Every structure is written in C-alpha cells, then in structure tokens.
Amino acid sequence: MSTATPVITKNTARHVLWHYGADGGMQPGRGTQTLMVAIDAADMVGVERLRLGFPELVGAMLTAKNDIGGVEQLQKIAGAA
C-alpha cells in the first residue's frame, strides 16, 4: 500500500482547517464532518482502512494533525496564508 499523500485540493484543505478550528477553514457538509470525526477517532489500522476510500481527506487530516507546519501547509493550499 502506498503511503504517499495525494494532492490535497483547496476545498479539502479548507474543510480540514475548519475541523481543527484553524484560520481559513470552511464548514463542509454533514457527511464530511462525520467522516472527519471518524478519521480523528480511529486507531492507525482504522485510519489506513479509511485511507483506502478517502485518501485525500485522510492525508490532509494527518498533515494537519501530525506534520510540523502542517496547518500552515493546508492554509497555503486553501489560500488563507
């Protein structure tokens, strides 16, 4: 399984920023909100399973959550920085 992060789109970056309460965020629909809560709550096995169906969203959330400067990176993608 590839662990490469797919290209993160502007809307996905905005949704993840909203989820984490960061500047530049935009509230997504209820389904995406619920999915982000599930990704946040999942253990690493669950996260990898969710990545199979939602690679961009999981990649963006892990970027914000785990990477030094990840929120700033998403803000640049979102056009908020």
**How does pLDDT run across 63-74, given as a tens digit for each residue?**
999 999 999 999
Residues 56-65, mean pLDDT to the nearest whole number: 96
Name the nearest CA neighbour of 78 among 6, 11, 5: 11
**Sequence-separated (6 or more) residues with CB below 8 Å from residue 32:** 15, 57
| % pLDDT > 90, the chain | 88
Task: Tell me the C-alpha distance between 66 and 64, whole Å.
Answer: 6
Residue 37: which pLDDT band, with cuts at 50, 70 and 90? very high
Whole-prediction pTM: 0.89
- Chain centroid, CA 63 distance in Å: 7
Residues 52-81, mean pLDDT to the nearest whole number: 92
